[in-house]
Amino acid sequence: MNWKSKDNTKLIQGILALETRSEAEKFLRDLMTENEIKEFASRLKAAEMLTEKVPYTTIERETGLSSTTIARVAKWLNGKEGGYRMIISKLQHHSSNQSRRELS
């Protein structure tokens, strides 16, 4: 993948320019179909479940993803890029901070 191509650079800049949940929702809805959004959300859920050592059969049942897609997510989760691991860590950190704020 050529992340430095003009079009890919513009896409990344657009994502980084988003400031609110509402902006992200609007952009993602215009960028992708409803089914694509659901698919990507399911892949992220599968990655989270894989980090918790949940069996493939349970992940299949809860996400509706095929075992092939789950295997692909597992490959990327454990791959050198680390995108899934990074975002899961950020989400856990964000959730932890949110919980602390609610307790205050």
Whether residue 81 is predicted with pLDDT greater than 60 in this model: the reply is yes
Write down the pLDDT at residue 30: 97
- The average pLDDT across 79-99 equals 87
Question: What DSSP letter does each residue of 25-88 carry, written as one string?
Answer: HHHHHHHS-HHHHHHHHHHHHHHHHHHTT--HHHHHHHH---HHHHHHHHHHHTSSS-HHHHHH
Q: 94 pLDDT band (50/70/90 cuts)?
A: confident
Write down the pLDDT at residue 93: 87
pLDDT digits (tens, 9 = 90+) for 14-57: 999 999 999 999 999 999 999 999 999 999 999 999 999 999 99
- The average pLDDT across 50-65 equals 97
Write down the pLDDT at residue 39: 97
Q: What is the mean pLDDT of the chain?
A: 93
